[in-house]
Amino acid sequence: MKTTEKHLHEPLFHITRRTDISAAKAWMIRLLAILAALIVCALVIVTITDYNPLQVYVKMFEGSFSSERKIMMLLQNIAMLLCISLAVTPAFKMRFWNLGAEGQVLVGGLASAACMFYAGDSMPSPLLILVMLVTSILSGVIWGLIPAFFKSFWGTNESLFTLMMNYVAMQLVAFCIMVWVPSGSNVMGIINQNSQSGWLPELFGQKYLINILIVAVLTVVMFVYLKYSKQGYEIAVVGESENTARYVGINVKKVIMRTMVISGGICGLAGFLLVSGTNHTVSKELAGGMGFTAIMVSWLAKFNPLMMVLTSFLIVFLQRGASEIATAFRLNESVSDILTGIIIFFIIGCEFFINYKINKKSKKKEAVA
Amino acid sequence: MKKIICALLAVVMVLAFAACGNTDTASKGGEKDKVLSISEIEKTVATAMEKVEKANLKIGLICLHDENSTYDNNFIQALKEVQQELGLTNDQVLIKTGIAESDACYNAAAEFADAGCQIVFADSFGHETYMIQAAKEFPKVQFCHATGTRSQIELVSNYHNAFATIYEGRYLAGVAAGMKLKEMIDSGKITADKAVIGYVGAFNYAEVVSGMTSFFLGARSICPSATMKVTYTNSWFDIAKEKEAALNLINSGCVLISQHADSEGAPKACEEKGVPNVAYNISTIPMGPNTAIISSKIDWAPYFKQIINAALEGGTIPTDFCGTLENGSVKLTELNTKVAAPGTQEKIDEIKAKLISGEVKVFDTKTFTVGGKELSTYTADIVDKGDFVPDSEAIKDGTFAESSDRSAPYFDIKYIDGISE
């Protein structure tokens, strides 16, 4: 009979979950994945262009490291991506799918820009920066708290809610720019270009250093908060099981809202850093998709803030390398995006081999059949 | 734990504010407030460039989008053409695409300067303030910017604006559109009152308004019953939105479409619906072999050649360059005779000659009315102090003198009679 016949055929391989992989072996797999990715990328490069892949890789490296300016830009980009990743992490650890980082960053940035625009001439710069910092964080908090409030009290779906808040934030930015710059193509341009009022100052001649330092401190704080504080523990418990949390006497509503206050607040801070310390302007593209890339950074690092330094470095390094090879070889940016895609695919894919083991069909059983 | 965190944050804040105090006093003040009249500014700020050997010449181009945007592609192709003509290598002609109107633009410009470029060019309106920032930091590098308005105000000697009298090109493209409308009416396909043009604009501001008005005036000079409907997409490059806008216009009865937005959205919508299209920046005949009539464009090659030669010969770059029909900066692409009405080429040639000689003026105030009245005076915001307050008389000798006091367009009358949203 057909069914029994089928039963006799054991699949070529089957998958089991690994429970005890050593750190060394895990890293070995990751290294192999990167090597494999580079080989596949080389094949792609050879097939669609006639460049030497090694040359391309050298250029990719140069995109981040060939000058002091590039190194600072690399660090600045890492800092911003890391900051937003840190923001989404507590929410994700709590299994609250905050897809609204983009919007929370935008309203934070918008608040900063509004302060610069309206109070640029009437306040001394240090005071203005303080006001900007506070309003930005508050705006981010409000933007994060709204979906958390609805989720806690009425059980609304937070993924959709936070996602939609992004579009509201975008339109809000577009609207404000239209009010501030009545004739134009919805471009704000540098605010207070001559007075530099509300700009984060240079530190030791480096204009991004303050951003980088703030995020560095934040990374350590977030690591400690999640790992050693009582609140961090509560987040983990709520994430694992809301019922358990309730059973042990954790006020779940309170934890959800408190965590989103933190998440939104840090996004607001990121918006402040992007406006005051980086762009000195606001636009719909202020966050530039980082609100979503941050989710990947956070997941890849398994919500460990210190590991996120590494994963955000990886993403930024690839992005910068991609745009460098696009310029150096006159490749369309899409080509370099393909390469970045391949590398990220392998890196994410290799986690499968770290978590699962592939068992081949054993000969012994075949003999029995 | 909390104490440590607070201490750390405090240290960062103190560092921030300490550094703040240093720069704060340096450049506070209203140097921007001084207003120079247009004649005072003239082309006096530009200083001669240091002469460079051809082998050492380097130019960098910063583009908002990549080749898929017709607008950016127009710059890229022009620069590649000049590169080939002058025999420069790819290492001498650097192109960065996808550079946002943010700090990224400043960094791209600074990286070009680091790489040894003598000239850096940026193509998008929103790049301007970042280019000025870079120009101040790298006084030996020349920064040129298309569509900008600030070179006459900032007076940074190595910062330059450039644009062209594209309204003349638009007018000629409008003539081709008018010929098509006239053909449709003459052949009985539509009645005279149904000659409605649809226009997909990116943003409701001077550059777009000037272009669409001149296009409309060109069309109406041939087909007096023509009217025009405008839809804005509020984006420079959005294939879906532009396509949707064009389709909506077609469905609401527009019989010919033109656009000032940078994707293939509108031309493709026209090809789908079989509605004639007049485009901008590049020839769209490959996208719409059965509907594309002609495109007007700014040819940037003459300008690129001029600024590269300035570097090779140690010359100067004008503070505010304005290309014209006459010097080859404003052009029309190949006419698609399959779609265009017979006699279009002859008509275009005739009117082009008249535009160059000055016999025909695009914004002749006798040819249009605003709110039912002829325009005898109009104050436009020509000196861009950032205040959006109109400051200069634009009507001269019975014409709106577009691009004469500043290369970037300032015709911002929305709308003249016959155009509506």
B33 close to A (CB below 8 A): no
Q: Is the pLDDT of residue A241 over 90?
A: no
Q: How confident is the model at residue B315 (pLDDT cuts 50, 70, 90)?
A: confident
Residue B411 DSSP code: -
- Chain A CB contacts of B8 below 8 Å: 217, 220-221
Lowest mean pLDDT among A336-350, B112-126, B257-271: A336-350
Which ranges constitute the DSSP H helices of chain A?
2-8, 23-48, 53-65, 68-93, 101-119, 125-154, 158-180, 209-228, 230-240, 242-247, 252-272, 290-300, 305-328, 333-355, 363-368
Predicted pLDDT at A206: 81
pLDDT tens digits, A106-159: 999 999 999 999 988 888 888 999 999 999 999 999 999 999 999 888 988 888
Tokens (6 digits) for B266: 């509108």
Residue of B nearest to A274 (CA): B103
Question: B2-35 pLDDT, tens per residue?
Answer: 555 555 555 555 554 444 444 333 333 333 344 4
Asked if A224 lies within 8 A of B8 by C-beta distance, the reply is no
Q: When comparing pLDDT for B49 and B142, which is higher?
A: B142
- Tell which B residues from 368 to 407 touch A, by Cβ distance under 8 Å: 381, 388
Whether residues B8 and A220 touch (CB distance < 8 A) is answered with yes
Are residues B202 and A185, on separate chains, in Cβ contact within 8 Å? yes
Distance from CA of A183 to the nearest CA of B (A): 6
Chain A residues within an 8 Å CB radius of B12: 210, 213-214, 217
Q: Report the C-alpha gap between A354 and B286 in whole angstroms.
A: 50
Residues of A in contact with B125 (CB under 8 A): 184-185, 187
CA distance B188 to chain A (A): 40
pLDDT of residue A347: 85
Confidence check: pLDDT of A221 > 90: yes
Instruction: Calculate mean pLDDT across residues B209-225.
Output: 93
The string of pLDDT tens digits covering residues A176-206 is: 998 888 777 778 888 888 788 888 888 887 8
> Residue B155's pLDDT is what?
81
Which pLDDT score, from 0 to 100, does residue A216 have?
Answer: 94
Chain A, nearest residue to B73 by Cα? A332
A18: CB partners within 8 A, 6+ apart: A354, A355, A356, A357
**Lookup: tokens for A172:** 């809000």
User: Does residue A10 have a pLDDT over 80?
Assistant: no
Under the banding of pLDDT at 50, 70 and 90, the label for residue A362 is low
Nearest to B171 by CA among B412, B360, B366, B413: B360
SS3 string, B340-359, reads CCCCHHHHHHHHHHHHHHCC
Distance, CA of A358 to CA of A16 (rounded, Å): 6
Question: Exposure string (b/e) for B250-274, b if CB count within 10 Å is 16 or more?
Answer: beeebbbbbbbbbbbbbbbbbbeee
Do A126 and B20 count as a contact with CB atoms less than 8 A apart? yes
Task: Name the helix (H) or strand (E) containing A89.
Answer: helix A68-93
Judged by CB atoms closer than 8 Å, whether chains meet at A195 and B29 is answered as yes
Whether the predicted pLDDT of A336 surpasses 90: no
The rounded mean pLDDT for chain B is: 85
Element (H, E) at B222: helix B206-222
Neighbours of A321 (CB within 10 A): 23
Distance of CA A251 to the CA centre of its chain: 29
**What is the arithmetic mean of pLDDT over A10-21?**
78
The DSSP H or E segment spanning A84 is: helix A68-93
CB B120 within 8 A of CB B111: no
**Residue B366: Cβ within 10 Å count:** 10
Q: Kindly list the residues from chain B whose CB atom is less than 8 angstroms away from the CB atom of residue A73.
A: 107
> Among B23-27, B123-127, B168-172, B387-391, whose mean pLDDT is lowest?
B23-27
Size of interface A-B (CB pairs under 8 A): 127
Q: Which of A194, A217, A330 lies closest to B9 in CB terms?
A: A217
Closest-CA distance of chain A to residue B383, Å: 13
Q: Does residue B62 sit at the A interface (CB-CB below 8 Å)?
A: no
Q: In this structure, what are the phi and psi dihedrals at residue A129, rounded to the nearest 5 degrees?
A: -60, -40
Report CB contact under 8 Å: B100, A283: yes
Compare CB distances from B102 to A185, A202, A281 and report the shortest one's residue. Answer: A281
User: Average per-residue pLDDT in chain A?
Assistant: 86
* Helix (H/G/I), strand (E/B), else coil: A323: helix
Contact B17 A126 (CB under 8 A): yes
**Looking at the predicted structure, is the pLDDT value of residue A291 above 80?**
yes
Q: What is the pLDDT of residues A307-324, one digit of tens each?
A: 899 989 988 988 888 888
* Residue of B168, B167, B150 whose CA lies nearest to B159: B150
Check residue B168 and report its DSSP letter. H
The two three-digit tokens of residue A347, written as one number: 């890196």
| Residues in chain B closer than 8 A to A285 (CB atoms) | 100-102
Taking residues A17-40, report their average pLDDT: 84
CA atoms of B3 and B8, how far apart (whole Å): 9
Say if residue A233 is preceded by a cis peptide, omega within 30 of 0: no
pTM to 2 decimal places: 0.84
How large a percentage of chain B has pLDDT more than 70? 89
- The shortest C-alpha distance from B183 to chain A (Å) reads 36
Domains of chain B: 41-164 (3.40.50.2300)
Which residue on chain A is closest to B410 by alpha carbon? Answer: A183
CA B265 – CA B247 distance, rounded (Å):
10
Backbone phi, psi, residue B199, to 5°: -130, 120
Look at residues B11, B38, B139, B12 and name the one whose alpha carbon lies nearest to residue B410. Answer: B38
> In terms of Cα–Cα distance, which of A272, A287, A281 is closest to A141?
A272
Contact B200, B246 (CB under 8 A): yes
What is the band of A171 on the pLDDT scale with cuts at 50, 70, 90? very high
B237 Cα distance to chain centroid: 14
Could you tell me the pLDDT band of residue B150, with boundaries at 50, 70 and 90? confident
Is A183–B205 a contact, with Cβ atoms under 8 angstroms apart? yes
Under the banding of pLDDT at 50, 70 and 90, the label for residue A1 is very low
Give how far B253 is from chain A: nearest CA, Å. 28
Look up residue B14 and give its two tokens.
């103190």
Q: Would an 8 Å CB–CB cutoff place B155 in contact with chain A?
A: no
Whether residue A190 and residue B129 make contact (CB cut-off 8 A), yes or no, is: yes
Q: Name the phi and psi angles at A315, rounded to 5.
A: -65, -45
What residue segments make up the domains of chain A, in order of their start?
A: 20-49+329-357, 70-306
Question: Going by C-beta distance under 8 Å and a sequence separation of 6 or more, which residues neighbour residue B271?
Answer: B277, B287, B288, B289, B290, B291, B292
Per 3-state DSSP, chain A is made up of helix, strand and coil in percentages (nearest 5) of 75, 5, 25
Share of chain A above pLDDT 90, in %: 33
Residues 216-255 of B with CB under 8 A from A: 234, 236
Q: What is the pLDDT of residue B41?
A: 55
Q: What distance in Å separates residue B28's CA from the closest CA in chain A?
A: 4
* Disruptive mutation site among B31, B71, B89, B102 for chain A (greatest number of A CBs within 10 Å): B102
The three-state secondary structure class of A358 is strand
- In the numeric block, the tokens 């890391």 are attached to A82
Q: Name the packing angle between helices B103-114 and B128-137 (round to 10°).
A: 40
pLDDT above 70 covers what percent of chain A? 95
Rounded Cα distance, A234 and A229, in Å: 9
pLDDT value for A309: 93
Residue pair A178/A273 in contact (Cβ under 8 Å)? The answer is no
Give contacts of B126 with chain A, Cβ < 8 Å. Answer: 185, 187, 189, 283
